[in-house]
Structure 1
């Protein structure tokens, strides 16, 4: 994890080490001398905002942390952070709503970078039915809702397999972003039961290519696979953290049930 630091040089050094890059590797990729990069990391040289952004882009630093670097270097942030309800993000809201509505009658949800629920279509109710009210109070964390024993977990037919998939995905996200909130969430979710025992047998065709979610609903086991959609070229911190999690039926029986529920 990136530690709490106060200088831009320390931040750059921590991100470089987290990406397993040497000063030589990074200097070659960015086109600066190793000596100059060393001076920046030790505080002997004050980097320009342009250099900070070039280094941050090469290190694939999230937009919010790029702003932190700029502030630590004595420069203004480069990326705005609007609330999703602000007028500036009206086209984003419209695009999200179009995708959610267009995905019906299949479940879809918008989550932020900490997996908190931002919006969803009505079909998501197939997953939330039966969950404890305290897990559905805002802000709803969809990973906590999924794996908590009072949430979706008792109805996930292949819980060990699905749990392993979610924890691995969260672990990779935490490693990539160095976000302490994601590490805290990962530690919490690891304490939930459901990881022991063999996965339930799966015979549908989709299981040979993706990890399916098999979910018990009113006496029937529904089978899904999921996709994640991100904004391709975000320049706003809020937009950069949004993702659309869409679930598709993995067999005709599931598709028929979802159409009937709609």
Structure 2
């Protein structure tokens, strides 16, 4: 279960006591954008960008936000840029259970319920599951209670040797896909918790099985890597899709992702519709 961030895999700029300059330069270099190109995008000049990066000029709050937008800086890190420039954070970080989030919670619940009988869930920035529909139950077959205790973590649940991993037929390929997605997520955020989770799940042992990486029906054309998982004596095949919120104005909302699992073959679709699970 994944979150798909945008951007490259270079490390995110680290926090600096020297002000916004080193942070801005780090994000610009990470995106492989020249000072001139960034200036043209933001309606500024290369000289002004250079002065900001070297600490000779303090950008306005508006300019910080404009540069962050053109560098595709995540919302949480935009707050860090503002703080480094001497301004208050622009984006709130509202707990998901706050009364002001009621409309969001209700809308997300309706969305994932409407997706049934196909599985769907919502995860936060560290892959903790904050909502799921009834279709997810088929993934939990045989998983011990201790792995299902809150907060339920999608990465841990999927890759733990007592979780879903023993039932995933193409585990090595699916595991590689998930770890690569986590690498990209880490590149966007300075998150010790996310890095610790990556180290934990990457260290889980992987049992070799002859089916790994082999598609038994070569006539089936997959347009994306499927997750092939055993369920009640049959093998079901799913393609995962990720949705995030457009132009979020809150850190919590910006870091939510809705993952849905689409049947990757007619047999899986027929089974799900017949059971209504």
TM-score calculated relative to the size of structure 2: 0.86
Deviates more, 1:93-102 or 1:247-256: 247-256
User: Superposed, which structure 2 residues align to 1:192-207 within 5 Å?
Assistant: 192-194=204-206, 198-203=212-217, 207=221
User: Superposed, which structure 2 residues align to 1:244-255 within 5 Å?
Assistant: 244-255=258-269
Identify which of 2, 25, 31 aligns with 1:19.
31
Aligned residue number for residue 93 of structure 1: 105
Q: Are the aligned partners of 2:14 and 2:190 in contact in 1 as well (CA < 8 Å)?
A: no
1:124 aligns with 2:154: no
Q: Are the aligned partners of 2:241 and 2:259 in contact in 1 as well (CA < 8 Å)?
A: yes
Report the 3-state secondary structure (helix = DSSP H, G, I; strand = E; otherwise coil) of the residue aligned with 1:208.
coil
Alignment RMSD: 2.1
For the residues of structure 1 that align with 2:82 and 2:92, how far apart are their CA atoms? 13
For the residues of structure 2 that align with 1:8 and 1:203, how far apart are their CA atoms? 55
Aligned residue number for residue 211 of structure 1: 225
Structure 2 unmatched runs, 5+: 1-10
Deviates more, 1:96-105 or 1:200-209: 200-209
For the residues of structure 2 that align with 1:191 and 1:207, how far apart are their CA atoms? 32
With over 3 angstroms needed to count, the CA separation of the structure-2 counterparts of 1:179 and 1:17, relative to structure 1, is farther
Q: Are the aligned partners of 2:222 and 2:264 in contact in 1 as well (CA < 8 Å)?
A: no
Aligned residue number for residue 14 of structure 2: 3
With over 3 angstroms needed to count, the CA separation of the structure-2 counterparts of 1:44 and 1:111, relative to structure 1, is same
* Greater helix share, structure number: 1
Report the 3-state secondary structure (helix = DSSP H, G, I; strand = E; otherwise coil) of the residue aligned with 1:145.
helix
Aligned residue number for residue 177 of structure 2: 165
Structure 1 unmatched runs, 5+: none
Deviates more, 1:209-218 or 1:38-47: 38-47
Report the 3-state secondary structure (helix = DSSP H, G, I; strand = E; otherwise coil) of the residue aligned with 2:83.
helix
Shift of 1:207: 4.5
With over 3 angstroms needed to count, the CA separation of the structure-2 counterparts of 1:92 and 1:202, relative to structure 1, is farther
Deviates more, 1:177-186 or 1:52-61: 177-186
Report the 3-state secondary structure (helix = DSSP H, G, I; strand = E; otherwise coil) of the residue aligned with 2:248.
coil
Report the 3-state secondary structure (helix = DSSP H, G, I; strand = E; otherwise coil) of the residue aligned with 1:210.
coil
TM-score calculated relative to the size of structure 1: 0.91
Q: Which runs of 4+ in 1 moved over 6 A?
A: none
Identify which of 151, 159, 163 aligns with 1:147.
159
Shift of 1:214: 0.8
Identify which of 61, 86, 89 aligns with 1:77.
89
Q: Are the aligned partners of 1:204 and 1:251 in contact in 2 as well (CA < 8 Å)?
A: no
Q: Are the aligned partners of 1:163 and 1:195 in contact in 2 as well (CA < 8 Å)?
A: no
For the residues of structure 1 that align with 2:145 and 2:97, how far apart are their CA atoms? 26
Q: Are the aligned partners of 2:144 and 2:163 in contact in 1 as well (CA < 8 Å)?
A: yes
Aligned residue number for residue 57 of structure 1: 69
Give the paired residue count.
262
Deviates more, 1:171-180 or 1:88-97: 171-180
